């Protein structure tokens, strides 16, 4: 059977660009080595935050791949999603304990927008037994973890928040293998997913190239910038 290629819309490229910017801002967590060494906790927080942001991107990408038709309500909800990503980006700080509460709240809003999209799809199908209902179940569990993280932050149990982030990442990665929905895999458009990952990779490397330009100084030309390139 011939696979129909799902085109990548311009708003998806804009969405990817925002997430790449968010990931680039995470470097603030590892920009200030102590004695020439990045503190282990800062590096750990960087990795987990990076996985959290990438997973948020993947959740929405999966929805668009399966059901996205870019109706008016999808444009509205993706705008709310992107606004939450902007707020998430602005929360990033080297001080994890001042960062984690607004970071987690922003992440929860991002996930709730995706749950809303799946809920609309499930309403159209008049069933929670398909792929939309399966995704709602998984995302509801992940959202519950973030709600617990918010309460931990409010009640001064900030040390547990990073581990709840780890749990949320693991839940998002492995729950689809445990909670299996009974639906046709034909709704997954593999060429579209491949193109989205390719575009995210290209944009990410573009951000890296922009960072490399700071090493090229016309007043002091040497081999090191060329080596970095």
Is the pLDDT at 175 greater than 70? The verdict is: yes
Residue 100 CA to residue 49 CA, distance in Å, equals 10
Q: Which of 192-201 are b and which e, b meaning 16 or more Cβ less than 10 Å from the residue's Cβ? A: bbebbeebbe
- Six token digits for residue 214: 């700071």
**Residue found by looking up tokens 């445990």 in the block:** 178
* pLDDT tens digits, 110-163: 999 999 999 999 999 888 888 899 999 999 999 999 999 999 999 888 888 989
More confident residue, 7 or 211: 7
Could you give the C-alpha distances from 209 to 23, 149, 206, 226, in angstroms and in order? 15, 36, 5, 12
The predicted structure's pLDDT at residue 150: 94
Is the pLDDT at 1 greater than 50? The verdict is: no
The predicted structure's pLDDT at residue 49: 87
Is the pLDDT at 68 greater than 70? The verdict is: yes
More confident residue, 54 or 211: 54
Its pTM stands at 0.86
């Amino acid at each position: 059977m011939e696979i129909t290629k799902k085109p990548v819309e311009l708003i998806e490229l804009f969405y990817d660009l925002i997430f790449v910017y968010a990931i680039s801002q995470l470097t603030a967590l590892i920009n200030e080595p102590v004695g020439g060494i990045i503190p282990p906790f800062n590096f750990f927080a960087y990795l987990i935050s990076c996985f959290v942001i990438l997973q948020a991107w993947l959740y929405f990408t999966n929805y668009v791949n399966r059901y996205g038709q870019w109706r008016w309500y999808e444009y509205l909800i993706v705008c709310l999603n992107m606004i939450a990503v902007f707020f998430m980006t602005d929360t990033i700080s080297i001080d994890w304990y001042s960062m984690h509460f607004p970071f987690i709240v922003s992440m929860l809003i991002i996930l709730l927008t995706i749950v809303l999209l799946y809920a609309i799809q499930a309403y159209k199908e008049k069933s929670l037994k398909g792929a939309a209902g399966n995704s709602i179940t998984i995302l509801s569990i992940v959202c519950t973890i973030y709600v617990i993280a918010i309460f931990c932050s409010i009640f001064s149990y900030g040390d547990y928040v990073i581990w709840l982030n780890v749990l949320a990442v693991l839940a998002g990665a492995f729950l689809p293998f445990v909670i299996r929905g009974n639906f046709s895999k034909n709704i997954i458009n593999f060429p579209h997913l491949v193109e989205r990952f390719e575009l995210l990779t290209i944009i990410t490397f573009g951000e890296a190239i922009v960072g490399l330009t700071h090493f090229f100084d016309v007043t002091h030309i040497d081999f090191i910038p060329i080596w970095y390139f």
